[in-house]
Structure 1
Amino acid sequence: MKQYDAIIIGFGKAGKVLAAELSNRGWKVAIVERSKTMYGGSCPNIACIPTKALIHEADISSLFFHEDYPKQANMYKQAISRKNKLTSFLRDSNYEKLSKRPNVTIYTGVGSFTSANTIKVALPDGDIELQGKEIFINTGSTPIIPAIDGIKQSQKVYTSATMLEVDLLPKHLIIVGGGYIRLEFASMYAGFGSKVTILEGGNKFMPNEDRDIANSVKDVMKRKGIEIRLNSRAQSIHDTNDGVTLTYSDVSDGTPYFIDGDAILIATGRKPMIKDLNLSAAGVTVDAHGAITVSDQLRTNVPHIWAMGDVKGGAQFTYLSLDDFRIIRDQLFGDKKRDIGDRTPVPYAVFIDPPLAHIGLTEEEALKRGYSIKVSRLPATAVVRSRTLQQIDGMLKAIVNNHNGKIMGCTLFCVDASEIINIVAIAMKTGQHYTFLRDFIFTHPSMSEGLNELFDV
């Protein structure tokens, strides 16, 4: 049995940076990754990086080949090829950076607990056992596949990961789901020239957003030819000679409908990937959703076993996984002051066209909590940079506390929103008065200077 100071199960963001940190400090580290196609984790292989690369290419395709399906299909095929080269490069780079470290050993196989200190790794040429003083679980998440008749038999059903492997542009893409992933894929494939239909079970589009923001997003998507059908419960799927048919019912009255397409994307959420870990052998507990339960310092109920990233539940963002590493580093080597409660507020971005970014409270949330607030709205077209970029869709919105002038929340639905939201995040995190952004000197022309007018409340 091989002995290690640390065993990290999963080669994701938190795991790889933790391995490097521990190696630098002289720890003997083992990383266990179940697939050679996932070195570096989901982000560079099947999530953030490949999707954003394709979204960029979709914007170009829409600009140059709008409503010319043959040319857009060819552009899409080339984009998938370029995406594959990019992910391959990043995967190899991630592997090389760690494999060259003298204190790090990478095992490509399925890891599972046999006790609280021991991990069995199923390798192609047989099983081995590793023993670690500290063990870190970083296995990420996996798509939730709903119980729909025929879904397992169909050759036309994809997840957000497997969809990126297909280089044939669907003429009609059907998306089942109500999360943000479905919005990004809908916007991307519409940009490439696909007809897109979204089926979601709820009766409210983007229920977690204020209605003015949600309606603005919906209007933009409709103009791009994206059809959104609410109250839709998928019933069955079956392949046909020239595509696939999905049968669904209206949740409100049970009326059945069917829709024909070329491909179906299942975007009904993700769940923690705990399969094969055999957590019970280590005594590690999970919650009702299958997420590993952790303290605010990311320890499980077994003190020397930690969980980081998506596997512990909560918001699934790469940058939060990176911060999980920082918390663990502080617990191991620092003053032990960091925890998951001190990183709020946390911004997020949805890479639709234009992108949507948010931080803090929405207007509806602030009012429900009884705050006295000032609300500011600014159409994206009011920012001159949007006109120079010929991307005038969207709106900017800010929520300010009426009593102390602190920024309580901000939603940006405009070009460059994913960048500008970080400026607002810094102002909020440092407790700035809203006039800090109102009077700040930004470059011109830029989308960020729109914050001057937005915060002139």
Structure 2
Amino acid sequence: MATAASTFDAIIIGAGQAGPPLAGRLTAAGRTVAVIERKLVGGTCVNYGCIPTKTLVASAHTAHVARRAAEYGVGTGPVTVDMATVKSRKDGIMLADRHGVEGWLDGMPGCELIRGHARFEGPHTVRVGDRVLEADQIFLNVGGRATVPDIPGLADVDYLTNVGILDLDVLPEHLVIIGGSYIGLEFAQMYRRFGAAVSVVERGPRVTAREDEDVSAAVTAILEAEGIDVHVGATDMRLVKKDNGFALHTRDGADPIEGTHLLVATGRRPNTDDLGLDAAGVETDARGYVTVDDELRTTAPHIWAMGDCNGRGAFTHTSYNDFEIVAANLLDDDPRRVSDRIPTYALYIDPPLGRAGMSVAEVKASGRRALVGKRPMTRVGRAVEKGETQGFMKVVVDAETEQILGAAILGVGGDEVVQDILDVMTAKLPYTAISRTMHIHPTVSELVPTMLQELTPLE
């Protein structure tokens, strides 16, 4: 006997950053909603990403500042790190956030939170265990997971991903990280500050490959100044298990790197391979990302994809903005598009890198005439006062329209300062909207106008 289907106005698969707020908007509009989550409510950000990692970064920063206290005339004595307490603090903050989202969904009128793995059985039909659900509209918010590269010997080693490393409550003797991008570098600096020896191994010629070369060089210098070993050009990696850990061979002629703990941070992939998308008429690209249009509709017009699974951004803020775009078009008669937003993100090493828009390399490749401004943080009074003068700020401007094309702020407060520039970019104002504006002294932001007053042609 066939199972009777439960009918809803909408089904949301995945309770990450876009799913719960969309459920809130839909139920407030009088619609019934099923939210399906197979693992942890809150998705990557709450459970494995922003919330726990930035909590750990805060603990690491505190240890770092304490060790430098004598530079500021403050005596602290020997600085020690209790990793069990660090983990406990992280767990408490993360769990409070997760439980908050769970409580929101559980108490939301018109919403049912269903636990289990969802799989399409037809364009409007989804099965979760013994239950069959139907809805006129379906929204995918299924996120992504870490990729594991095909490295000889890796299967013989007890390696960690960004998920497993969060369960550590002891300090590694030597943490080796494969992958020189954002996740890997944040954990590298964090664990070095906790007291571990740390090595970063990158296959390519430099870390943070998507950034301009001067940014990559400055990031490398920041990490190496704290005692992190950075190895690039690791084109022939293989692992050999040893009694007390492993040896990582990187390329011919290079000495192997011996470590006790291994973190693999080489990228992520979307969770789209076991959803039965074919049964719904939803297409994916060669990498598994759901194909969407500018309003985030999939190739099935009644199904939308939000967050990491659509390939339009891999950040919490892009996922939440996806929700806003979908809700605006569906509920507010407000035509919003993905192409209207300016790419922006941050790398949370310390000092952080804040990025908005195009890199200088991308501007050069576009062939347009441009102006560039750059200022070292050693010439930013606020940074000098705080004793944090690493990095620089850089901006690139269209020479004809005078609109800002992109910015990189690598330095104290860079993740906040870059948003001043982002707002002006979004408003499509000329750079003079900042360069002629009086800023507060003493701040890091006050040097952005000065930088913009000293633009030179990009060569």
Tell me which amino acid in the other structure corresponds to 2:387.
Q
- Per-residue CA deviation, residues 367-401 of structure 1 (Å, 9 max, x unaligned), is 22222222111111211111222211111111122
1:65, CA displacement in angstroms?
Answer: 4.3
CA distance in 1, matches of 2:292, 2:360: 31
CA distance in 2, matches of 1:247, 1:201: 12
Corresponding residue of 1:97: 104
CA distance in 2, matches of 1:51, 1:402: 40
1:405, CA displacement in angstroms?
Answer: 2.1
Corresponding residue of 2:58: 56
Aligned to 2:409, the other structure's residue is in SS state: strand
1:71, CA displacement in angstroms?
Answer: 5.1
CA distance in 1, matches of 2:334, 2:437: 35
Query: Equivalent residues in 2 for 1:55-454 (5 A)?
Result: 55-65=57-67, 72-74=80-82, 76-122=83-129, 127-155=130-158, 157-233=159-235, 235-249=237-251, 254-255=252-253, 257-343=255-341, 345-454=342-451
Aligned to 1:268, the other structure's residue is in SS state: coil
1:234, CA displacement in angstroms?
Answer: 5.6
CA distance in 2, matches of 1:142, 1:177: 15
1:416, CA displacement in angstroms?
Answer: 0.6
CA distance in 1, matches of 2:361, 2:310: 28
- Per-residue CA deviation, residues 90-113 of structure 1 (Å, 9 max, x unaligned), is 111100011111211111111111
User: After TM superposition, where is structure 1 displaced by more than 6 Å over at least 4 residues in a row?
Assistant: none
Tell me which amino acid in the other structure corresponds to 1:205.
V
Aligned to 2:256, the other structure's residue is in SS state: strand
The answer on whether the counterparts of 1:391 and 1:415 sit within 8 Å (CA) in structure 2 is: yes
CA distance in 1, matches of 2:30, 2:365: 51
TM-score, reference length from structure 1:
0.93
CA distance in 2, matches of 1:28, 1:359: 38
The answer on whether the counterparts of 1:112 and 1:277 sit within 8 Å (CA) in structure 2 is: yes
CA distance in 1, matches of 2:442, 2:344: 24
The answer on whether the counterparts of 1:7 and 1:136 sit within 8 Å (CA) in structure 2 is: yes
Q: 1:89 to 1:205 in 2, by over 3 A?
A: closer
The answer on whether the counterparts of 2:152 and 2:239 sit within 8 Å (CA) in structure 1 is: yes
CA distance in 2, matches of 1:15, 1:348: 21
Task: Provide structure 2 residue ranges, at least 5 long, that are not aligned to the other structure.
Answer: 69-75, 455-459
Once the two structures are overlaid, the 10-residue window that deviates more, 411-420 or 214-223, is 214-223
1:149, CA displacement in angstroms?
Answer: 3.0
The answer on whether the counterparts of 1:234 and 1:246 sit within 8 Å (CA) in structure 2 is: no
1:42, CA displacement in angstroms?
Answer: 0.9
Corresponding residue of 2:71: none
CA distance in 1, matches of 2:237, 2:185: 22
Tell me which amino acid in the other structure corresponds to 1:20.
G
Aligned to 2:34, the other structure's residue is in SS state: strand
CA distance in 2, matches of 1:235, 1:110: 36
CA distance in 1, matches of 2:96, 2:51: 12
Tell me which amino acid in the other structure corresponds to 1:162.
G
Once the two structures are overlaid, the 10-residue window that deviates more, 49-58 or 331-340, is 331-340
- CA RMSD across the alignment: 1.9
CA distance in 2, matches of 1:406, 1:294: 29
1:417, CA displacement in angstroms?
Answer: 0.6
The answer on whether the counterparts of 1:65 and 1:72 sit within 8 Å (CA) in structure 2 is: no
- Per-residue CA deviation, residues 172-230 of structure 1 (Å, 9 max, x unaligned), is 11111132211211121222222211111112333322222222222121111111111
CA distance in 1, matches of 2:377, 2:389: 6
Q: 1:235 to 1:383 in 2, by over 3 A?
A: closer
Corresponding residue to 1:2 among 1, 6, 14: 6
Tell me which amino acid in the other structure corresponds to 2:48.
I
The answer on whether the counterparts of 1:202 and 1:230 sit within 8 Å (CA) in structure 2 is: yes
The answer on whether the counterparts of 1:247 and 1:256 sit within 8 Å (CA) in structure 2 is: yes
The answer on whether the counterparts of 1:110 and 1:276 sit within 8 Å (CA) in structure 2 is: no
1:244, CA displacement in angstroms?
Answer: 2.6
CA distance in 2, matches of 1:211, 1:96: 46
1:9, CA displacement in angstroms?
Answer: 0.6
Aligned to 1:397, the other structure's residue is in SS state: strand
Once the two structures are overlaid, the 10-residue window that deviates more, 325-334 or 258-267, is 325-334
Q: Percent of aligned pairs with the same residue? A: 34
CA distance in 2, matches of 1:165, 1:391: 31
1:238, CA displacement in angstroms?
Answer: 4.3
CA distance in 2, matches of 1:342, 1:187: 34
Tell me which amino acid in the other structure corresponds to 1:9.
I
1:332, CA displacement in angstroms?
Answer: 1.2
CA distance in 2, matches of 1:160, 1:246: 19
Once the two structures are overlaid, the 10-residue window that deviates more, 87-96 or 425-434, is 425-434
Corresponding residue of 2:72: none
Q: 1:233 to 1:370 in 2, by over 3 A?
A: closer
Tell me which amino acid in the other structure corresponds to 2:137.
E
Corresponding residue of 1:17: 21
CA distance in 1, matches of 2:202, 2:155: 20
Task: Provide structure 1 residue ranges, at least 5 long, that are not aligned to the other structure.
Answer: none
1:118, CA displacement in angstroms?
Answer: 1.0
CA distance in 2, matches of 1:283, 1:106: 25
1:456, CA displacement in angstroms?
Answer: 1.3
